[in-house]
Amino acid sequence: MDFAKLKRRLYYWIHQIVNILLRLTWHLLHVTIHLCYFAINIANALESHLISKGLLRRYKSLHISKLQYLAIVIESEDCRTSNVIELLQWLADLGVKHVCLYDMEGILKKSKDFILEKFDGATLFQENDVLLDQPLMTLEFASFSDGKEAVAKAANVLFMKYLKSGSTSSYQGEQIFTESQMGEALKTVGGNGPEPDLLLVYGPARCHLGFPAWRIRYTEIQHMGPLKSMKYGSLIKAIYKFTMVQQNYGK
Amino acid sequence: MEGAGHKIGFSALMSMLKYCYEFGVRYVTVYAFSIENFKRSPEEVQSLMDLMLEKIEEILKEQSIVNRYGVRVIFSGNLKLLSEPVRLAAERAMLATAKNSKAVLSICVAYTSTNEIMHAVQESCEEKWDEITLLNSSGAGYGLISLGGYEQDEMDHLIKLTDIEKHMYMAAAPDPDIIIRTSGETRLSNFLLWQSANCYLYSPSVLWPEIGFRQFLWAILNFQQIHFYLDKQRKQS
Task: From first to last of the 251 residues of chain A, give the pLDDT tens digit.
Answer: 688 999 999 999 999 999 999 999 999 999 999 999 999 999 999 999 988 888 877 887 788 888 899 999 999 888 888 999 999 999 998 889 899 999 999 999 898 888 888 888 788 877 665 566 677 888 999 999 899 999 999 999 888 888 877 655 555 545 678 888 888 888 888 767 889 999 999 999 999 999 999 999 999 999 999 999 999 999 999 999 999 888 777 77
- Tell me, yes or no, whether B26 and B101 share the same domain: yes
Residue B82 belongs to domain with CATH number: 3.40.1180.10
A22 and A89 both lie in a single domain: no
Of B161, B191, B224, which marks where a domain is finished? Answer: B161
Q: Do B144 and B191 sit in the same domain of this protein? A: no
Q: Are residues A208 and A134 in the same domain?
A: yes
- Are residues A114 and A209 located together in one domain of the fold? yes
State residue A175's pLDDT score.
63
| Residue with more model confidence, B227 or A170 | B227
pTM of the entire structure?
Answer: 0.89
B136 belongs to a structural domain: yes
Q: Which residues of A touch B225 (CB under 8 A)?
A: 30, 33-34
Tell me how many residue pairs between chain A and chain B have CB atoms under 8 A apart: 145
Number of structural domains (chain B) is 2
Same domain, B127 and B80: no
The structural domain count of chain A equals 2
Question: Would you call B36 and A251 a contact, using CB atoms and an 8 Å cutoff?
Answer: yes
Q: A210 lies in which domain range?
A: 64-147+191-244
A122 inside 8 A of chain B by CB = no
| Amino acid letter, B24 | G
Shared domain check, B78 and B46: yes
* Cβ pair B82, B49 in contact under 8 A: yes
* Pair B65, B14: CB distance under 8 Å: yes
pLDDT, tens digit, for every residue of B49-63?
999 999 888 888 866
Residue B95 has pLDDT above 70, yes or no: yes
List beta partners, residue B187: A220
Q: Which of B34, B87, B122 to mutate to test the interface with A (most CBs of A within 10 A)?
A: B122
User: CB atoms < 10 A from the CB of B181, how many?
Assistant: 18
**Phi and psi dihedrals of A91, rounded to 5?**
-65, -40
Burial tier of B161 (Cβ tally within 10 Å: 0-12, 13-18, 19+):
middle
Question: Stretch B107-127: mean pLDDT, rounded?
Answer: 92
Comparing CB atoms, the residue among A148, A162, A168 nearest residue B125 is A162
B6 lies in the same domain as B81:
yes
Task: Classify strands A70-74 and A198-202 as parallel, antiparallel or unpaired.
Answer: parallel
Residues A124 and A215 in one domain: yes
pLDDT of residue B154: 65
Residue B156's pLDDT band, with cuts at 50, 70 and 90, is: low
Whether A129 and A232 map to the same domain: the answer is yes
A93 and A55, same domain (yes or no): no
Residue B226, domain member (yes or no): yes
Whether residue A84 is contained in a domain is answered as yes
How distant is the Cα of A192 from the closest Cα of chain B, in angstroms?
A: 13
Is B91 in the same domain as B180? yes
Mutation target among A29, A143, A153, A159 for the B interface, most CBs of B within 10 A: A159
pLDDT at A131: 62
* Domain carrying residue B123: 115-161
Please check whether residue A94 is in contact with residue A65, taking contact to mean a CB–CB distance below 8 angstroms: no
Q: For residue B166, tell me if it sits in a domain.
A: no
CB A238 within 8 A of CB A48: no
**Domain for residue A173, yes or no?**
no
| pLDDT score for B220 | 94
pLDDT at site A174: 59
Both A86 and A103 in a single domain?
A: yes
Q: Do A207 and B155 touch (CB under 8 A)?
A: no
The 8-class DSSP code of residue B40 comes to S
CB contact under 8 A, B229 and A172: no
Strand partners, A73: A102, A201
